[in-house]
Amino acid sequence: MKRYLVVDDNGRGLESIEMLLREHGYAAAGIVESIPDDAALQWESRYRDILENAPIGIFRSTLDGKFVYVNAAMARMLKYESPEALIELVNRTGAVEAVCADPSHCWEVLRDARKDCCWHLCEERYRCRDGSIITCSFHYRAVPGKGDSPGEFEGFVEDISERKRAETVLKTCQFIMDKASIGVMRGSADAKILSVNEYWARVLGYTQEELSSMSFYDIDPALTPEFWYAHRERLTATGFDTFETSQRRKDGTLFPVEVTISFLNYEGQEFSCSFTQDISRRKQAEESLRWSEEKFRTLAETSAAAIVLYQGERIVYANPAAVRMFGYSEPELLEMLFWDCFHPDFREVARSRGIARQRGEQVPSQYECKVIVKGGGEKWALVTAGRVEFKGAPAGIVTMIDITESKRWQEMNSALLAEKDLLLKEVHHRVKNNLQIISTLLELQSESVRDKEALTSFKESRDRIRAMALIHELLCESDGLASVDFDEYIVHLSLHLFDSYQVDPGRVTLNVAAGGVSIGINKAIPCGLIINELVSNALKHAFPDNRTGEISIRFDVDGDDWISVTVADTGVGMPPGLDFRNTETLGLQLVSMLVAQVRGRIAVDSGPGGTVVSIWLPLSR
């Protein structure tokens, strides 16, 4: 039975139709110029059926970009309801402007097509009605019109978006595989290397082409046929296999690797892919960890301090010293909660700190507490705690030192010190009382003295004794017995002298600046006597005839080496030509003697505006 293909020649002639058919793969055995009308209608119907049901878009347009014809596939591809809707909407602005994502490029390729009326192929990005963009294969040509000039454009459009996405994914996967910091290799059942990624070729020192002509035996010196076939059996049975081995670089050096191979049987074909990782650092880390564990175990096993490792609330390790300290065996300790080892008075504090420490919170790392040993006994322990990682999870490590004997000695020493303080206070109290008795005796004796000079001597001696007694009195009242608050001492001493010489505080004022300095008794007594003499001398001689003025006392510690004492007044000053180092009065003689006794220095500046006496006493002598 004969079959006919009816083609509208559009005025081009039989030769043009024959050429068109051959270009599309048809053998034009013979072309008739005319066929019966009924046959023509039948073939035209089939022809239109093919166009309308074709799986790819088919179009024809004018040279200025107006669609003349589009099939249903073209309309569906661009997401229009029908070919008629596509033509109507698109032709308002022109097919190129409405559909092409890059109209300038599309016009450029169409202009090139008009030059030869040959078929051209390119990729174009088209805009669908909903605004989405698709990538299409565009097979087009300019249709010859009358004469040599083209009359229209026609062509085929196929949506290749999915294929482009697949190509992109494939390229991305290939890029990732080549650049991934892990070896990716494919091999055959007989151990031939079929492909290798760029990274692993670089690690091995070969090119990808060189490795593709080698076998796994060439890069794995430990590989044997027996191991290979056993490995293939495991691989086909389970679908994967993992093992550690060594591989050899091109320069001959060996390095450890971990190989994981996946296997797939798909449609009768076997596929396997190996993923190889350089584990040199891991091996070094494992070796370092092993050495650290051995070192820790050696130190822990030989340590005299109890070492306990706990995770959560349970003990996971206890060294021999912990066994000796608590009296439990190691298995018994490993069955206990760590907090059960603490005395009830300290248990909750230790528990809250231990849990917080495992969470990474900052808590005290060292403290003293009581622990309970087997049998109910109590011990004091110095606890030092820290946080570690144990089997991939946070844990706490505690070192305990038995300080029971130290605490007992500490309590005994505290008792002895308290007793010593009590005895020293009693001594100072008795010395103070004895000095006060002497002062009282002098007071009583002075009542029977009629000579004015002798009476003055009795009074001055009583003041000196009072200056020494005041130091012992302050020591008795203070918390410590090693030093005296000199600020308080100077104020008490000066007020006593003002009362002794019956000086009106409104006429002569007192200004004391001692800066809260405390000094030991060995320096306090000479300093007190010096201040006593200088203030007494100022009260007696600096303000005659009821003159007003001020006495200032400044006491300070100059660094770590010197005590600085300054007594100044705003009185009349010393008589001209007076040598304070060579006087007949006992007061200034006593000052010079005390300064010389402690190897200090003294300076006097006196004039009509007053007198300033500055003394420096060595603190360390």
What's the rounded Cα separation, in Å, for the pair 550 and 506? Answer: 10
Q: Which of residues 417 and 398 earns the better pLDDT score? A: 398
Say yes or no to pLDDT of 225 above 50. Answer: yes
pTM: 0.40
Share of the chain above pLDDT 70, in %: 77
**pLDDT tens digits, residue range 99-114?**
998 999 889 888 888 8
Q: Lowest-confidence range among 73-82, 324-333, 428-437, 526-535?
A: 428-437
Q: Which two tokens stand for residue 151?
A: 């009359």
Share of the chain above pLDDT 90, in %: 10
What's the rounded Cα separation, in Å, for the pair 114 and 94? Answer: 18
**Average pLDDT in the 245-269 region?**
86
Say yes or no to pLDDT of 189 above 80. Answer: yes
Say yes or no to pLDDT of 32 above 60. Answer: no
**Which pLDDT value is given to residue 126?**
92
What confidence category does residue 299 fall into, taking pLDDT thresholds of 50, 70 and 90? Answer: confident
Which strand (E) or helix (H) includes residue 418? helix 404-446
Q: Which of residues 493 and 103 earns the better pLDDT score? A: 103
**Which pLDDT value is given to residue 133?**
92
**Average pLDDT in the 536-554 region?**
83
**Which pLDDT value is given to residue 388?**
85
486-500 and 452-477 helices, crossing angle to 10°: 150
**Average pLDDT in the 592-616 region?**
83
Say yes or no to pLDDT of 20 above 60. Answer: no
Q: Do domains 166-278 and 290-402 have the same CATH topology?
A: yes
What's the rounded Cα separation, in Å, for the pair 442 and 459? Answer: 8
**Average pLDDT in the 416-429 region?**
61
Per the CB < 8 A criterion, the answer to whether 181 and 199 are in contact is: yes
**Which pLDDT value is given to residue 206?**
93
CA count, 13 A, side-chain hemisphere, 111: 6
Say yes or no to pLDDT of 4 above 50. Answer: no
Say yes or no to pLDDT of 323 above 80. Answer: yes
Q: Lowest-confidence range among 148-152, 265-269, 468-472, 576-580?
A: 468-472
Rank 91-100, 298-307, 512-521, 524-533 by mean pLDDT and report only the highest: 91-100
Q: 3-class SS at 437?
A: helix
Q: Which of residues 204 and 45 earns the better pLDDT score? A: 204
Q: Which CATH number fits domain 412-618: 3.30.565.10, 3.40.50.720, 3.40.50.300, 3.20.20.140?
A: 3.30.565.10
**Which pLDDT value is given to residue 11?**
47
**Average pLDDT in the 600-613 region?**
84
Contacts of residue 382, Cβ cutoff 8 Å, sequence gap at least 6:
366, 368, 400, 401, 403
Burial class (CB in 10 A: 0-12, 13-18, 19+), 27: exposed
**pLDDT tens digits, residue range 137-185?**
989 888 877 666 777 888 999 999 898 888 888 888 778 777 778 888 8
Per the CB < 8 A criterion, the answer to whether 274 and 235 are in contact is: no
**Average pLDDT in the 585-598 region?**
76
**Which pLDDT value is given to residue 29?**
46
Break the chain into its structural domains and give their ranges: 14-160, 166-278, 290-402, 412-618
Q: Which of 167, 165, 151, 128 is nearest to 61 (CA)?
A: 151
**Average pLDDT in the 445-467 region?**
67
Q: Which two tokens stand for residue 38?
A: 């009924």
Per the CB < 8 A criterion, the answer to whether 127 and 90 are in contact is: no
Q: What is each CA distance from 23 to 12, 17, 27, 322, in whole angstroms?
A: 16, 10, 10, 95
Per the CB < 8 A criterion, the answer to whether 474 and 528 are in contact is: no
**Which pLDDT value is given to residue 12?**
47
Say yes or no to pLDDT of 17 above 70. Answer: no
**pLDDT tens digits, residue range 344-385?**
888 888 888 888 888 888 888 888 888 988 888 888 888 888
What confidence category does residue 444 fall into, taking pLDDT thresholds of 50, 70 and 90? Answer: low
Per the CB < 8 A criterion, the answer to whether 151 and 144 are in contact is: yes
Say yes or no to pLDDT of 6 above 70. Answer: no
Rounded to 5°, the CA angle 205-210-215 comes to: 95
**Which pLDDT value is given to residue 1?**
37
CATH T-level fold of 14-160: Beta-Lactamase (3.30.450)
**Which pLDDT value is given to residue 609?**
79
Q: In angstroms, how far is the first alpha carbon of the chain from the final one?
A: 139
Q: Which two tokens stand for residue 446?
A: 């002075």
Mean pLDDT of the chain: 80
In this structure, which amino acid lies at residue 73?
Answer: A
Tell me which CATH code domain 290-402 carries: 3.30.450.20
Q: Which of residues 427 and 491 earns the better pLDDT score? A: 491
Q: Which of residues 21 and 259 earns the better pLDDT score? A: 259
**Which pLDDT value is given to residue 584?**
62
What confidence category does residue 135 fall into, taking pLDDT thresholds of 50, 70 and 90? Answer: very high
Say yes or no to pLDDT of 460 above 90. Answer: no
CATH T-level fold of 166-278: Beta-Lactamase (3.30.450)
Q: In the beta sheet, which residues pair with residue 193?
A: 187
